[in-house]
Structure 1
Amino acid sequence: MLDFSDAWLSTVISEEFTIKEVIENLNKTGLKIALIKGADNKLLGTISDGDIRGAIMKGVSLSELAISISSRAPLVVPTEVHRDTVIKLMYINKVTHIPVVDDSGNLVGLHAWNELVKSPLNNIMVIMAGGRGSRLMPHTQDTPKPMLLVAGKPMLLHIIERASNEGITKFIISTNYLADSIKNYFGDGSQFGVNISYLEEVSPLGTAGALGLIDFITDEPIVVMNGDVITDISLSELIGFHRRHGAVATMAVREHEWQNPYGVILTNGLQITGIEEKPIIRSHINAGVYVIDPVALSFLQKNIAMDMTTLFELLRMNAQPVVAYPMHEPWLDVGRPSDLSLANSTVRSGKK
C-alpha cells in the first residue's frame, strides 16, 4: 500500500459547495483538484482545475453547485495499488490525481503526480538515433527512422516525453543519417522542457559505439535507449534495479516465443527417441533499453563501431557484473513497415 500525506483532506468538499467556493478551495490547497464526498463517505465526483476553467469559458455561473460540472465517475484505485501502477495510470489517462477508495468504496486518500514523482532524475539519457532504417524503406528515404510519426508524433518525441514524465531532463541524441532533420526539430530541447545535446557519428558506430564520443564526466548511471523502441518501461525502476544488483551494465530483456511450424524429431543416432509437434521455443531477447555505469565507457574507443551486445560481452569477459532486467511492460521495436503500422494503431487506440 502506498503512503500519502494528510494534505489530501483539504481537497474534500461537500455536495453543497458552489463553483466559487471550489475555486477558493483550489487556490487555498494548490492541489488543483477537489473531491466531493457524500454523507456516507462515498466519493460523488471530482472537480479539476481544468473543469473550473472549462465552466468559466462556457459562461456557467459561479453560484451554481460545483457537482454540476464534476466528473461523476472518476478514475479511482484501491488502497493496495503499487506506486508504479498509479504512475502508469496517470500517464495513460493524462491525469495528475487519482482518488483512493477502500473495499467498501469509501474515500480514504488521494494520489498526486507531483508527490509520486517528487524530483528530477539526475541520470542522463542517451538515445541512439543514427540508424538508416533500411528495412523501413521507402518510409525512411527522406526521414530518419526515429522521426517517423507514430500517432502524429515522431517516435523520438514519444521516447523523450515518456522519460521526461519520469523525471529525466537531460538527453543526448546520437545522430548520423539525416541528422539535420532531428536537430532542426528538437534543437536544444527547451521547447519540450528538457535539455538536449548531440553526438555526431561521422560514420555509423553501432548501438554502443557512439557512447565512446561522450566527453563529460558523470557519477550517475547512464540510461541508453534505441530510437526505434516504443515501451512503457519504468526507467526509474530500471535504474533502481541496476543499482540494487551492483551492475556495471544492465540490459532490459523481453521473453520471446516462437513456434516451430514443423514436428521436431528427437533422435539418438538412427533411433527416434521422441517427437515434439510444433514445439514452442522461449527465449529472452534484447529490448534495446540499457543502464550503463560510466566505468563501462572505458571499454569503448572513439569512432570505433561496436554493438551493445558486444560491449556487454566485453564487460562480462573482463569480470564486470552485467545483468538482465526482465521486463513485462508493453514494448515494440519499430523495425519494419508492419511494426510501424502496429505502433500507430496501438498508440492511437490507447491499447497496450
Structure 2
Amino acid sequence: MNTHEIKAWRHALLTNSATLQEAISNLDKVAIKIVLVVDGNGRLEGTISDGDIRRGLLRGLDMSSPITTVIHRNPFVVPPDMARETIIQLMVANKIQQIPVVDENRQVTGLHLWDQITTQQARPNVMVIMAGGKGTRLRPHTEHCPKPMLPVGNKPMLEHIIERAMANGFSHFILAIHYLGHMVEDYFGDGAKMNARIEYIRENSPLGTAGALGLLTQPPEAPFIVTNGDVLTDINYGELLDFHIRHQAAATMAVRTHEWQHPFGVVQTQGLDIIGFEEKPIARTHINAGIYVLSPESLNVLNSNESCDMPTLFERLQASKQRTVAYPMHEPWLDVGRPSDYETAQRTGSTT
C-alpha cells in the first residue's frame, strides 16, 4: 500500500459523533466512495456510502442528523494478512468495491479498494535468484546444462520464476551463477528482451544460498526477495514482501506444512504402563520452501567469500536479537531437486 493510499483511507475516518453533512463532505473530498466510522479508540463501528446517505435523506433526515442513523454496522472486513487473491474473490462474490482492514481489536489498519487491488503494484525491490548449483542429483540432465536452465514446458525453470515475479510487479533481478553460468548469461543477457533488468553475481566457488549475497557490490537499500533457482511456485512475491515489511523483520522465510503419517499404531507408555494408543498418527512440521525476504541490515552478519546457507544466516540474526519470521505458504510449490520432481514439472508444466 503506497503513501497516497494510506493517506486516502486515513482521511476517510470519521468519529461516530459526526453529522450527515460531514459525511457528505468527506465523500466528496476523499473520493473513495466510503466513510469509515470509528469510535474514540479507532475501532470500526461501520461504514457509510453515498447510497446510505441518500436513503437516510429519503427517510426525512437532514444535514445535521448524526451519522449513527445511517451507519452500515456489519460491513465485510478482512484481517491484515489476507491474501490479495482472496480479497478480490470476496469483492467479486459480494459485489463490493471497498473492504476495510481491521486487526484483532477491530482497529482500522487499512482499506482495500477494487481499482487499486486489481492493478498490479510496481515493485522497485530487487529479487536475487540462486542459480549456481550443479544439480548433481539430476544427472544426466545437468551434465551439460545448469539446473535452473532445465526446460519445463517450453522454457527454462529460471524463466518461469522470473515471469512469475514480473507478474507480481518485480523487474530488477540479480542472478547468482557458478556452474555453467555462461549459459544463463547467454540466454537472459541484461534482461532487455523480457523488459526486465538482469545483473549477475559470479561465484568462483559455491558459497551457499546466503554466502553469494556477500558478493553484492551494491547491497539493496530496501528489503529484497531471495529464491532458489529450482523452486517453482504460484506464490505472490509481492504479498510475501508486504508480509515481511508489516512484521518489521530482518529476515522472513517462506515455509510449507509437511505431513508424514506413521505407518504403525503408536503405543503411549509411562514407564511400564500403557496410557494410550494413537492409530497411525500424522506428524506436521514446517519445512523451508527456499524463498526468503531479507532486509539490508541482515547482510551485516555475512563475511565476504565465506560459504553460508540460509538457515545459518537466520541463526546468526536470531543470535544478534534480530527478528526472523515464517511466512506460511499454501500455494502450489515444487522443489525440483530429484529426477521424480523434474518429471512432475515436465509432465504438468507447472508446480501442481
TM-score by structure 2 length? 0.67
The corresponding residue for 1:84 is 84
Contact kept? 1:263, 1:279, Cα under 8 Å: yes
Looking at structure 1, the residues matched to 88 and 129 of structure 2 have their Cα atoms a distance apart, in angstroms, of 22
Q: Could you tell me which amino acid in structure 1 is paired with residue 195 of structure 2?
A: G
Deviation at 1:339, TM superposition (A): 0.8
Q: Could you tell me which amino acid in structure 2 is paired with residue 276 of structure 1?
A: E
Deviation at 1:112, TM superposition (A): 7.9
Deviation at 1:337, TM superposition (A): 1.1
Looking at structure 1, the residues matched to 234 and 87 of structure 2 have their Cα atoms a distance apart, in angstroms, of 11
Secondary structure of 2:259's partner? Answer: strand
Contact kept? 2:158, 2:229, Cα under 8 Å: yes
Match of 1:212 among 211, 214, 217: 214
Q: Give structure 2 stretches of 5+ with no counterpart.
A: 1-75, 96-113
Runs of 4+ in 1 over 3 A off after TM superposition: 79-83, 86-89, 99-103, 111-115
Looking at structure 1, the residues matched to 259 and 225 of structure 2 have their Cα atoms a distance apart, in angstroms, of 27
Q: Could you tell me which amino acid in structure 2 is paired with residue 85 of structure 1?
A: E
Contact kept? 1:87, 1:113, Cα under 8 Å: no
The corresponding residue for 1:262 is 264
Looking at structure 2, the residues matched to 347 and 183 of structure 1 have their Cα atoms a distance apart, in angstroms, of 23
Match of 1:243 among 242, 245, 250: 245
Match of 1:116 among 119, 125, 129: 119
Deviations 1:307-343 (A, max 9, x none): 1011001101110000001111111111111111112
User: Paired residues, what number?
Assistant: 256
Deviations 1:35-72 (A, max 9, x none): xxxxxxxxxxxxxxxxxxxxxxxxxxxxxxxxxxxxxx
Deviation at 1:250, TM superposition (A): 0.4
Looking at structure 2, the residues matched to 259 and 194 of structure 1 have their Cα atoms a distance apart, in angstroms, of 44
Looking at structure 2, the residues matched to 321 and 205 of structure 1 have their Cα atoms a distance apart, in angstroms, of 24
Secondary structure of 1:212's partner? Answer: helix
1:137-152 equivalences under 5 Å are 137-152=139-154
Contact kept? 1:256, 1:284, Cα under 8 Å: yes
Deviation at 1:83, TM superposition (A): 7.8
Looking at structure 2, the residues matched to 219 and 129 of structure 1 have their Cα atoms a distance apart, in angstroms, of 22
Contact kept? 1:83, 1:116, Cα under 8 Å: no
Relative to structure 1, the CA distance from residue 327 to residue 101 in structure 2 (aligned partners, 3 Å threshold; closer, same or farther) is: closer
Q: Could you tell me which amino acid in structure 2 is paired with residue 304 of structure 1?
A: E
Secondary structure of 1:116's partner? Answer: coil
Secondary structure of 1:262's partner? Answer: coil
Looking at structure 2, the residues matched to 203 and 328 of structure 1 have their Cα atoms a distance apart, in angstroms, of 34
Match of 2:345 among 335, 343, 346: 343
Q: Sequence identity of aligned pairs in percent? A: 53
Tell me, yes or no, if structure 1 residue 200 matches structure 2 residue 202: yes
Contact kept? 2:84, 2:117, Cα under 8 Å: no
Q: Could you tell me which amino acid in structure 2 is paired with residue 213 of structure 1?
A: L
